[in-house]
Amino acid sequence: MFFLKTNYSHPYFGVGMKDISSAAPGVAAWGMMIGVSMIQSGMSVVDCVAMTLLVFAGSSQLAAIPLMAAGAPLWVIWATAFCVNLRFIVFSAHLRGYMMGWPRWHRLCAAYLTADLSYVQFVKRFEKPATDMQGKQNEQAYLAGSCFLNWSSWMIASLMGIILAHYIPVQWGLSFAGVLALVGVACSLANSSLKIVSCLIGGLVAITSFFLPLKLNILLAIASSVCVCLLIEPYLSPTDASQNKTRHD
Amino acid sequence: MHPKIKPAMTEAQTLLCILGLALITLITRAFFFMSEQQWRLPALIERGLQFAPIAALSAVIFPEIFLWEDHFSGLLMNSKIYGGVAGAAFFILKRGQGHAVFGTIVVGMLTYLPLHLILGWN
């Protein structure tokens, strides 16, 4: 991962950092908001810092914080976090083809550090897993660079949120910057009509199934988009279909 | 400072809870490549996964913009819609070149904050 010299001295390390740098301020805003909410829930500073440094998963932290404050049983908190994190299991299926050639502990470190945006930028940059040694090294260095910048901006902002919790005006809605970073990245992904369909279906399903507990609406949205896109793929205009064919066969 | 109330969990329980959460982060993110076993996903699923990233993003974005708590937050006086649309429009005008995502954040916030703070919209 990013602490390996073969990765951080590789030219693709910088490419990975550059690709995610534009969205980093949004990641930071979101991280800072989580830092503030941890303090506001009444957790001690030590616990907040430990949670930030160890858990490194914003939405599962956000789900766990009120449960911990209410003194819920541990298994309830863990089960909740697991469900909120289910989308990562889908991402891991996608990343498997890229990572299986790496030694196991590299895979585990990389997986632990690969949050949503690093995953999205990675599979956008490398549409298919490389088959040669050179390509695999590029991929590993790229992911390391991307994770490094994402992780460090998250950590710095989240720790700042913990320290400055009482001075940050949460009601201003600064965390909307995190949503806007996702809007920008989503626009960069929408390069075919099928991707736009996937985007719309994901959004609509997530809204209509928002009543589901444990953020399961996100998982349902991903599953519905993937299924609908696979179903309509053969009926789309020939240019689109052939574009997809050359890319994926 | 917060009033001193009896914490709901002991210090040891809290740390155990946090360690468990960290392990859950690792297990879910590494789920399909923890073992060394050789197998391949069915080709159909492999092809379908290319649509997962954008769906995952929009599944977070849409409820954030259109819902307030769990209600529909309205279309006209919803500053997040204007912010989101302005940000996306900037990205499209720039054709994604340069630091277009950063521009999306800046333009979106510059649209959102006045509506939200001055006009008091959602």
For A199, the token pair is 């985007």
Task: Identify whether residues A44 and A127 lie together within a single domain.
Answer: yes
Residue-averaged pLDDT of chain A: 90
Res A249: pLDDT: 41
Which residue, A174, A206, A230, sits at the end of a domain? A174
Q: Which residues of B touch A114 (CB under 8 A)?
A: 29
Total domains present in chain A: 2
By CA distance, what is B95's nearest residue in A? A188
Beta-carbon separation of A70 and B8 below 8 A: yes
Closest to A53 (Cα-Cα) out of A82, A30, A31: A31
pLDDT above 80: residue A239: no
The per-residue pLDDT for range A46-57, each reduced to its tens digit, is 999 999 999 999
pLDDT above 60: residue B91: yes
Task: Identify whether residues A165 and A91 lie together within a single domain.
Answer: yes
DSSP assignment, residue A127?
S
Task: Identify whether residues A217 and A157 lie together within a single domain.
Answer: no
Q: What is the pTM of this model?
A: 0.88
Task: Identify whether residues A74 and A9 lie together within a single domain.
Answer: yes
DSSP assignment, residue A132?
S
Out of A85, A90, A100, closest to residue B24 by CB: A85
A180 in a structural domain: no
Closest to B87 (Cα-Cα) out of B56, B72, B65, B70: B65
* Range name among A114-118, A132-136, A243-247 with the lowest pLDDT average: A243-247
Task: Identify whether residues A161 and A62 lie together within a single domain.
Answer: yes
Q: How confident is the model at residue B68 (pLDDT cuts 50, 70, 90)?
A: confident
A90, amino acid identity: V
pLDDT above 90: residue A150: yes
A184 in a structural domain: no
By CA distance, what is A179's nearest residue in B? B61
Task: Identify whether residues A136 and A242 lie together within a single domain.
Answer: no
Beta-carbon separation of A42 and B7 below 8 A: yes
Task: Identify whether residues A60 and A23 lie together within a single domain.
Answer: yes
> B113, exposed or middle or buried, with CB in 10 Å at 0-12, 13-18, 19+?
middle
Mutation for testing the B interface, residue in A27, A131, A180, A199 having most B CBs under 10 Å? A180
Q: How confident is the model at residue A248 (pLDDT cuts 50, 70, 90)?
A: very low
Mutation for testing the A interface, residue in B19, B33, B54, B121 having most A CBs under 10 Å? B54
Scanning the structure block, which residue is given the tokens 């976090």?
A: A81
Task: Identify whether residues A9 and A86 lie together within a single domain.
Answer: yes
Res A238: pLDDT: 52
A80 in a structural domain: yes
Res A243: pLDDT: 52
> A132, exposed or middle or buried, with CB in 10 Å at 0-12, 13-18, 19+?
exposed
Beta-carbon separation of A189 and B116 below 8 A: no
Percent of chain B at pLDDT exceeding 70: 94
A158 in a structural domain: yes
ipTM above 0.95, yes or no: no
pLDDT above 60: residue A125: yes
Task: Identify whether residues A43 and A144 lie together within a single domain.
Answer: yes
pLDDT above 90: residue A13: yes
Query: CA B12, CA B8: separation in Å to the nearest integer?
Result: 12
A103 in a structural domain: yes
Task: Identify whether residues A220 and A140 lie together within a single domain.
Answer: no
Beta-carbon separation of B29 and A111 below 8 A: yes
A53 in a structural domain: yes
Task: Identify whether residues A146 and A58 lie together within a single domain.
Answer: yes
A183 in a structural domain: no
A185 in a structural domain: no
Rg (CA), chain A: 19
The per-residue pLDDT for range B31-48, each reduced to its tens digit, is 998 888 888 888 899 899
Task: Identify whether residues A216 and A143 lie together within a single domain.
Answer: no
What is the extent of the structural domain holding A205? 190-249
Out of B58, B80, B109, closest to residue A202 by CB: B58
For A34, the token pair is 């989580």
Summarize the confidence of residues B102-114 as an average pLDDT. 94
